Amino acid sequence: MYEYEAISQTVIDGDTERTIQLIEKALKQGFLAEKILEEGLIIGMNSVADKFKHQKVMIPEVLRSTRAMHAGMVTLNSSLQKSHKLEETTVFIGTVAGDLHDIGKNLVKMVLASSGVEVIDLGIDVSVKKFVQTVRKEKPQYLMMSSLLTTTMPVMREVIEELENRNLRSGLKVVVGGGPITDLFAAEIGADLYFDDPFRLREYLMEQHRPR
């Protein structure tokens, strides 16, 4: 019991070295990797997410925690059975054409990666064509688009229209986000989901893809 709590605390503190140390020790002592993940790392990260939601921590602290979480996942990796469904979730992300502002997109990437979701980054200034080709080829579960400029927001609508024209919407969830994006705008352009911070997105994914 105590071991899990201690591991959670290292995630909360963003103490990467200690996270690795404690996990290695716990594995040696015979604790199950799945339990370390669920009751140590994830509980710690949930606590950080909750604090962030209530403005009790600042983003640089959160990023330290995500780094510790990620290092913990890597440490556990060989011992984890691949039944953890979050790991099977396929996500592509990109900042839309005309927009070079990717700090929000990168935050999403970091937060999701720390929870074991593999995010494939299409980068910045991603064209409608590129988004559509990626969906056709890779058939991901999620396509995430970000924009910061109000002038680039309409590109999101174009991508969604193009996906519909080519019948590529089934089995795909389009997620949009970024500074000027609101849930109203997301609904108007036909996006499936909108989140205003990476933790709400993470919360949603954990809920949807929780091992059952």
Partner 1 sequence: MMKNYGKAANKLDPSRFAILSAGQLEDIHRATLALLSNTGVQVDSKKARKLFASAGAKIEKKKAAKIVKIPASLVEECINSAPGYQTYRGRLAKYDYRAEAGSYSFTTFGECTGIIDLKTRAVRQSAKDDCCQSALICDYIDAVKVVERPLNPSDCPVATQPLHNAEAIFSNTAKHSFIGPGNAESLKRMAKMAEACAAGSENFKDRKIFTATVCPLSPLTLGEDCCEIIMEAARLGIGLLIFTMPLAGATSAVTMAGTLVALNAEILSSLVLAQLAARGTPCTYGSAGTIMDLTMVDAALGAPEMAVLSAAAAQLAHCYNLPSLVCGGMSDSKLPDAQTGYEFSYSAMLCAMAAGNFISGMGVLEKGITFDYAKLLMDAEMADYIITAASGIDTSPENLALGTIDEAGPGGEFLTHDHTYNHMRSQSTVEKFDRRKRQDWLEAGGKDLAQKAYEEAAHILAEHKPAPLPGKAAEIMADIIRQYEIELGIGK
Point out which residues bind partner 1 (CB under 8 A).
55, 58-61, 63-64, 67, 103, 106-107, 182-183, 196
Closest Cα partner for 8 from 22, 29, 24, 28? 22
Question: Which of 54/82 has CB closer to partner 1?
Answer: 54
Minimum distance of partner 1 from residue 63's CB (angstroms):
5
Closer Cβ to partner 1, 151 or 182, answer by number = 182
Cα-Cα-Cα-Cα torsion 183, 187, 190, 196, nearest 10 degrees, comes to 10
- Tokens representing residue 23 in the block: 């996990």
Q: Name the H helices within the chain.
A: 2-13, 16-28, 33-35, 43-53, 59-76, 103-114, 128-138, 153-165, 183-189, 198-208
Q: How far is the CB of 102 from partner 1 (least distance, A)?
A: 9
Residue placing its CB nearer to partner 1 in the complex, 63 or 149: 63
At closest approach, how far in Å is the CB of 181 from partner 1?
10
Nearest distance in Å: CB 76, partner 1: 22
Closer residue to partner 1 in complex, CB, 164/187 = 187
Provide, rounded to whole angstroms, the least separation between the CB of residue 51 and partner 1.
13
**Cα(209)–Cα(89) distance, rounded to whole angstroms?**
8
Task: Give whichever of 69 and 135 is closer to partner 1, judged by the CB atom.
Answer: 69
**Alpha carbon distance 154, 52 (integer Å):** 30
- Closer residue to partner 1 in complex, CB, 37/186: 186
Give the up-direction half-sphere exposure of residue 4: CA atoms within 13 A in the CB hemisphere: 13
CA distances from 34 to 26, 59, 104, 113, 122 (A): 12, 28, 30, 17, 31
For residue 2, the minimal CB distance to partner 1 (Å) is 28
State the burial class of residue 163 (Cβ atoms within 10 Å of its Cβ: 0-12, 13-18, 19+): buried
